[in-house]
Amino acid sequence: MNKKIEKLLILVTDFFTVNLSWIIFFYLRVQTGWFELLSQPDFLLPLFAIYFYWLMIFTFVGMYRTWFALSRFDELSTLFKSSFVGIFIILFLIMWDDYRTGAVSSFRFYIFLYWFIFLFVVGTGRLVVRSIQRNLLIKGIGRRNALIIGFNDKANQIHNTIHNHRALGLDVIAYIAVREENLGKEYNGILVIDTVKNLERIIDQYNIKNIIISIDRNNEDTMLEIISTCEGKNVSIKIVPDLYDIISGQARTSQIYGVPLIDIMPELMPEWEKKLKRLMDIVLSLALIIITFPITFLSALAIRLESKGPIFYRQERMGMNGKIFRIVKFRTMIKDAEKYTGPVWSAKDDPRITKVGRLIRKMRVDEIPQVFNVLKGDMSFVGPRPERPFFVEKLSQEIPLYKRRLKVRPGITGWAQVKHKYDETVEDVKVKLRYDLFYIENISLRMDFKIIFRTIFVVLFGKGHYD
């Protein structure tokens, strides 16, 4: 089934089932006479409002992402959790209104009846759609061609699982080898037809829609090459993880009938979410400029009075897709701090930091001018920290996958900043890279809000680091 058709079908199904659940609830509450009514409630206005409310909740929790081998239990589990949150919010608003007005609304008791109806009706609709999907896939309609990269026991295990469960909708067309000595080998009637050097041609020639990577952990360069080749190809990529990846939890994992897989998403965010993230960046930046004006004015004055040099510090950084821009921060070091040393990382107790600089760094005030970079579109509020071109090139040679950070806009704050300390060594950078890659592969507005709230905690309690 085409992804757009699948998503449209789910949206239409939810439209009917969400509205039907409200109609059933309204009928039971108002038309049956089973419940005492103080006044005749409206029908149409709540009908539209409640639908758009659930549409936002479902969108926010990711219930309209493209389906892939999702079990019906997982579908109902996600529905239960999202509806629980939604009902809790409605109940809280009702109780708050009761407290504000001094009245006691009967609707707070009926909301649980509505929740039961909602779960049953919407859940049934979702199960019907997924069952139709499975039956169509089993019959050969909407199936997708898959490629397995690597030829080993784990790759063969995945192949067996796909072959034995036609409801997955995948047909393994071929194996692609990392090493040329595996060319011509065969498993379960499927040949190793080529190497990763010709991956792009194979994808186009065989109309590949799914790629499953099963290669050794020490082949990071090959992994990066595969991911780069698949950019813009509308191909779903999944990696067979090793035990370390599973335990560390540094990637979004899914399962194919008990076999864990790591999702790699070349299309990191849907278009609508990118636009909403950009709108959120603009609104938050303007709000921060207004709210922090007294603090930034006093900081600028203190910097000017304490030491010679400009108030603001501008430095070249590398942004999304390698674009160079000039980041703006309050100057916290002596003038020309790197004139004799060249580009170096700042240390936690760097002697070049001024007294005022140390204070505003501790309060994170030095980062506030970066909102102008956000307004220009060079940065986002949340994302991996932008690094200087010199260090990007240096670290890219030492650390595989480092340049994957450049696939998203850099941010004022990020997952690595709220989880790790100062970058003082290459090992620190490697640790932070794991957090950055985790953010990139799990990027969403929900993740951004989580990081923003954690950043507030970090600022209040003086933990974390922003370079």
One-letter amino acid at 30 equals V
Q: What is the pLDDT of residue 67?
A: 53
Q: What is the mean pLDDT of each run of 10 residues along the chain (467 residues)?
A: 73 92 82 58 74 87 64 80 87 69 59 89 91 84 87 88 84 89 87 88 90 77 76 77 50 57 66 83 91 89 84 89 90 69 59 79 83 93 90 79 83 83 65 82 84 80 52
Structure-block tokens of residue 330? 């309050």
Helix 271-291 with 445-461: angle, nearest 10 deg = 30
Residue 418 CA to residue 460 CA, distance in Å, equals 12
φ, ψ at 413 (rounded to 5°): -130, 165
Roughly how many angstroms between the first and final C-alpha of the chain, as a whole number? 47
Q: What is the pLDDT of residue 179?
A: 82
Q: What is the pLDDT of residue 339?
A: 58
Tell me which architecture the domain covering 144-264 has in CATH. 3-Layer(aba) Sandwich (3.40)
CA dihedral for 234, 240, 241, 246, sign (positive or negative) = positive
* Residues whose CB falls within 8 Å of the CB of residue 23, separated by 6 or more in sequence, listed in order: 47
CA dihedral for 286, 288, 294, 299, sign (positive or negative) = negative
* Residues whose CB falls within 8 Å of the CB of residue 366, separated by 6 or more in sequence, listed in order: 299, 329, 330, 332, 357, 360, 466
Residue 23 CA to residue 47 CA, distance in Å, equals 8
Q: What is the pLDDT of residue 247?
A: 42
Residue ranges per structural domain of the chain: 3-138, 144-264, 271-461
* Residues whose CB falls within 8 Å of the CB of residue 309, separated by 6 or more in sequence, listed in order: 331, 334, 335, 336
